Structures are given as C-alpha cells and as structure tokens.
Amino acid sequence: MTHLLKVIARGLVENPDDVEVDADEVNEDGVKVYHLHVASEDMGRVIGKQGRIATAIRTVLRAAARNGPKIQIEIN
C-alpha cells in the first residue's frame, strides 16, 4: 500500500524525489494511518481544487485495502 501511494503521488508532483510515505501500526480502532510527505510547493497538486485529488487518492487506496485493515491518509 505504501508503494501504491508513493507511485500515485510521484505522478502528480514536480519534485518526485521529495515524496515520502510513512505508515503507522494498526491502532486500537483497527485503522492504519499513512502519512504522505511532499514538498511545500507540491502540496496544492496533491490536494487539488476543493480537495478532489486527495479524495480520489483516498478512494483508490481504500478500494485497494478492502481486504485488510481500514486505512486513513494524512497529507503533511
């Protein structure tokens, strides 16, 4: 899942080398949190107008993780 998030984010940004993804362990609610780090000038590209790109990324990753724990994505 980390690799999928990294590939999607690198395709959106202008500085693909600055893309980093960290994952926490599954918490007590059964949710695994992924932290996406991008360069500050690429933040708008990952979030998109009114958060549409971020929502689309979350939708794709939740569909990919439907057999595993629930996931949450935080963009830092």
Contact 26, 69 (CB under 8 A): yes
For residue 66, the model assigns a pLDDT of 87
d(CA 58, CA 62): 6
Q: What average pLDDT is seen over the chain?
A: 94
pTM: 0.89
Tell me the chain's radius of gyration from C-alpha atoms: 12
Q: What's the confidence (pLDDT) of residue 67? A: 87
pLDDT band at 20 (very low <50, low <70, confident <90, very high): very high
Domains of the chain: total = 1
Q: Which domain holds residue 39?
A: 2-75
Taking 3-state DSSP, the helix, strand and coil percentages for the chain, each rounded to the nearest 5, stand at 50, 20, 30
CATH of the domain at 26: 3.30.300.20
Kindly state the percentage of the chain with pLDDT values over 90.
89
Least confident piece of the model among 1-5, 34-38, 68-72: 68-72
Evaluate whether 75 touches 13 at the Cβ level (below 8 Å): no
